[in-house]
Chains A and B, each alone.
Chain A
Amino acid sequence: GDSVTQMEGPVTLSEEAFLTINCTYTATGYPSLFWYVQYPGEGLQLLLKATKADDKGSNKGFEATYRKETTSFHLEKGSVQVSDSAVYFCALSGVGAGSYQLTFGKGTKLSVIP
């Protein structure tokens, strides 16, 4: 079945540091890929997505590129802020009969310190 593996946290960075959170996936065909963010005490919000190979999703300074050859969708940001402290989830949506289900990674907690 489909699966998502993302780097374990927690990750602690200083403000203005570079962020990478690794995400790799296993799926048949060409899934859609997502990054969701969860701020403390809140539900998940879509951060960015990509629906086909080589697409780059971007939002709020975050970027991720859909790499079919390495089955990866790593999240990056050039300069993190304290307000980026949250849990980040990588997810995929398959094709066909299973396409209604989002398969999530376990989440990576990011803490940004001033």
Chain B
Amino acid sequence: NAGVTQTPKFQVLKTGQSMTLQCAQDMNHNSMYWYRQDPGMGLRLIYYSASEGTTDKGEVPNGYNVSRLNKREFSLRLESAAPSQTSVYFCASSEGRGRHGGGTQYFGPGTRLLVL
């Protein structure tokens, strides 16, 4: 049981390049999330998918797109990278049921992205 896995672990891009961050979970969770972590800012939600087939914007969606490929996989795409997108990106998943819809979230190890 690997939990939440992310690829790549580290990436360097030039301004204007595109890339896709991959995330997969093997816990049969319904909900998945993408966060970015910046110094002194905590974690901020980019996009989430409450269930397979749905996606919604979070706090900082501009410059990103997402795809919920199936129940296991949730990818994050940067179409035209900018230096402001230099960050550490975390994927997370949760069962997604109950009164507190999301439930406890389980995080991947992160992808460090540097945009020059």
Contact = CB atoms under 8 A, between A and B. Distances in A.
Interface in A14-42: 31-32, 34, 36, 42
Contact of B50 (A31, A100, A102): A100
Contacts of B48: 100-101
A106 to B, nearest CB: 4
Q: How large is the interface on B (under 10, 10 to 19, 20 to 34, 35 or more residues)?
A: 20 to 34
Interface residues of A, number: 23
A34 B107 contact: no
A105 B42 contact: yes
Contact of A99 (B33, B100, B104, B110): B100
Nearest to B59: A101
A89 interface: yes
B100 A89 contact: no
A44 interface: yes
B90 A106 contact: no
Contacts of B101: 99-100
Contacts of A99: 99-102
A45 B102 contact: no
Interface of A: 31-32, 34, 36, 42-46, 49, 51, 89, 93-95, 99-102, 104-107
Interface of B: 4, 31, 33, 40-45, 48, 50, 56, 58-59, 90, 92, 94, 96, 99-110
